[in-house]
Chains A and B, each alone.
Chain A
Amino acid sequence: MKQLFSFIRKEFYHILRDKTTIMILLLMPIIQIILFGFALTTEVKDTQVAVLTTTNDEASSRIIDKLNASAYFDVVAKIHNEDEIQTVFRDAKAKLVVVFEDHFAEKLRHTGKAHIQLIADATDPNAATSFTFYASNIINSYQLELMSEAKNPYQIIPEVKMLYNPQMEGAFNFVPGVLGMILILICAMMTSIAIVREKEMGTMEILLVSPMKPIYTILSKITPYFVLSCVNFATIMLLSVFVLKVPIAGSFLSLILVSFLYIFVALALGLLISTMASTQIAAMLISGMGLMIPVMLLSGMIFPIENMPVPLQIVSSIIPARWYISAVKSIMIQGLGFSSILKEVGVLALMATVLIGISMKKFKVRLE
């Protein structure tokens, strides 16, 4: 029994004296609870709405006000004809367009019936279901209001139309997420481990004391993983298109280009991590903790970015996966062209340059 106690105590000493382990064991749960408790939510709030109304009448105004007043919606634009609907979605100005029938109030008063069309961006089917539901509720409550005021049966008929993902396939949403995750894992984690392994084994010493330029060491480590990533990209594409039936609605070339860019960023990240870790396990932990978890939680893969508190949104903006996933969604699901992902491409290009720059600087020509 005493043996057992002394061993347990020894194990506590080991843990307490290793600062890194302590941080992970005690700090991580705290961070996760705070994140999940306050910041990350699947609840859909502040969805951006655009309204299309040709007649600025009282009824539609009331409904619009009600929408705006609700915590779930934020009316950001008023458009006046149907052509503008596409623009709204393409420019990602809103996720929902509420279209009031011509002469909405008049029709309602005289015929007792009027139509409202709810056109939703169904790229994220769960979100779309939620906010169309909220919108329908709000419209319903207005209808009840009307009915209680005047003793006539009024009927406002909402018609829901899901764009971009009419079948509400969950796959449409997670394929870009999976792509983003896999590529960064392979490139960043595996590259960093491969470089650090050389350090750990001691062969790095011999390589350094030779005329071989360090840049060659780097290139030789990166190339296999670059090739592997391309293979994985191709595989995922094939499976998505032919098995999951997720279409590539937009330009395939743009998709390839932005994917290459993302791979470069991931490789550069792997390089950077390798300069920070001295053992393979450290490299693995940094990649895992530092990459996978933020990607999963903050890249918009699972939890919508718009619903995160501002500080987290800022954090999310430095995660390369977030930009990549957004670009892939635009191209694959919304069928948009290169011009619509200029912002994402720009950000990724900037990240790649900065990361490569830092890694090159940090790459040590000597052992320490």
Chain B
Amino acid sequence: MNNTIQYNSNKVIVAENLTKKFGNFKAVDHISFEVERGEIFGFLGANGAGKTTAMRMLCGLSIPSGGKGTVAGYDIGTQTELVKKSIGYMSQKFSLYDDLKVWENIELFGGIYGMKSPEIKEKTDALMKVLDFENERDKLVGSLPLGFKQKLAFSVSIFHNPQVVFLDEPTGGVDPITRRQFWELIYEATSRGITVFVTTHYMDEAEYCDRVSIMVDGKIEALNSPKNLRKQFNADSMDDVFQQLARKAKRVDG
């Protein structure tokens, strides 16, 4: 019997009762949601709530124990390679190779995603202009300040024009101005039709999202626009909403 979800071209990410178990431990417990094309979707939750595990499933890096999901129309349980080809990914821990030059990194990742050399060259030139990186082109990435690295890493992750890009705490530790410049790059990407799936610990960044979901103990406890969430929880800010929900968590201790 054909179990694939009907691919509605507007729903770039679909999760239906997605579950991941490690032994008896349910890291992700039946989560369901949909993300529309061009949306900025915030995926929040405390450490240990199951965010990273969920993201790995959506990126095709981990097979779900139960439930189903599609990303860019491809099934995350059976078509992981196709999923990987259609997405971009950037995390705080790893983004680019420190001992390769800026343009070498771009060329590498472009090549990995199947872009042709002329296209890579053209887009690299354009990117260097946009980011004002002309002088940095030949520098080793490791020698760049953190803010530069983050912006470059994001640009590389969407270089091949994926349908959706997954960002795992992309702005940790970066100075406030660069952080905002980063988000302006995100806005620019969504205006081109790229869907952005982002996790963050900065609650003000949650406000930049169209909709936000908050995971607690493996389940999604809230899913709505920031504005509606604030109303729902009678809160002044997303931070307040988060604190209210996180306090209920049982998985915080030990």
Contact = CB atoms under 8 A, between A and B. Distances in A.
Q: Do A and B bind each other?
A: yes
Interface of A: 2-3, 5-7, 10, 13-14, 17-18
24 contacts: A2-B111, A2-B114, A3-B111, A3-B112, A3-B114, A5-B111, A6-B107, A6-B108, A6-B111, A6-B112, A7-B108, A7-B112, A10-B97, A10-B100, A10-B104, A10-B108, A13-B99, A13-B100, A13-B104, A14-B97, A14-B99, A14-B100, A17-B99, A18-B99
Nearest to A10: B108
Contacts of B104: 10, 13
Interface in B83-115: 97, 99-100, 104, 107-108, 111-112, 114
Contacts of A6: 107-108, 111-112
Nearest to A14: B99
B97, B104, B111, B114 — most chain A CB neighbours (10 Å): B111
A7 B113 CA distance: 12
Contacts of B100: 10, 13-14
A71 B208 CA distance: 87
Chain A to chain B: the 6 pairs with minimum beta-carbon distance, closest first: A6-B111, A17-B99, A6-B108, A3-B112, A10-B108, A2-B111
User: Taking chain A's interface residues, is the majority helix, strand, or loop, or is none over half, making it mixed?
Assistant: helix
A1 to B, nearest CB: 10
B84 to A, nearest CB: 12
A2, A5, A7, A17 — most chain B CB neighbours (10 Å): A2
User: Taking chain B's interface residues, is the majority helix, strand, or loop, or is none over half, making it mixed?
Assistant: helix
A3 B104 CA distance: 14
Contacts of A7: 108, 112
Contacts of A2: 111, 114
A317 B108 CA distance: 51
Nearest to B140: A17
What size tier do the contact residues of chain B reach? Answer: under 10
A3 B114 CA distance: 7
A17 B114 CA distance: 26
A352 to B, nearest CB: 41
Nearest to A4: B111
A14 B100 CA distance: 8
A5 B107 CA distance: 12
Interface string B100-143: 10001001100110100000000000000000000000000000
A10, A14, A18 — most chain B CB neighbours (10 Å): A10
Nearest to A16: B99
Contacts of B112: 3, 6-7
A18 B108 CA distance: 19
B156 to A, nearest CB: 13
Contacts of B108: 6-7, 10
Contacts of B107: 6
A3 B100 CA distance: 17
B60 to A, nearest CB: 16
A5 B108 CA distance: 10
A10 B108 CA distance: 7
A364 B99 CA distance: 29
A18 B142 CA distance: 13
A2 B100 CA distance: 18
A6, A7, A18 — most chain B CB neighbours (10 Å): A6
A253 B114 CA distance: 72
Nearest to A17: B99
A13 B108 CA distance: 12
Contacts of A5: 111
A331 B195 CA distance: 78
A292 B198 CA distance: 50
Contacts of A13: 99-100, 104
A326 to B, nearest CB: 46
A133 B165 CA distance: 78
Contacts of A17: 99
B91 to A, nearest CB: 19
A6 B99 CA distance: 15
Given A2-B114, A14-B97, 15 more contacts: A3-B111, A3-B114, A5-B111, A6-B112, A7-B112, A10-B97, A10-B100, A10-B108, A13-B99, A13-B100, A13-B104, A14-B99, A14-B100, A17-B99, A18-B99
A83 to B, nearest CB: 71
A5 B117 CA distance: 13
A9 to B, nearest CB: 8
Contacts of B111: 2-3, 5-6
Interface string B64-86: 00000000000000000000000
A167 to B, nearest CB: 58
Nearest to A9: B108
A112 B111 CA distance: 89
A3 B99 CA distance: 19
A14 B114 CA distance: 22
A14 B96 CA distance: 13
Contacts of B114: 2-3
A189 B126 CA distance: 52
A17 B99 CA distance: 7
B181 to A, nearest CB: 28
B236 to A, nearest CB: 38
A35 B107 CA distance: 43
A5 B112 CA distance: 10
A140 to B, nearest CB: 66
A261 to B, nearest CB: 45
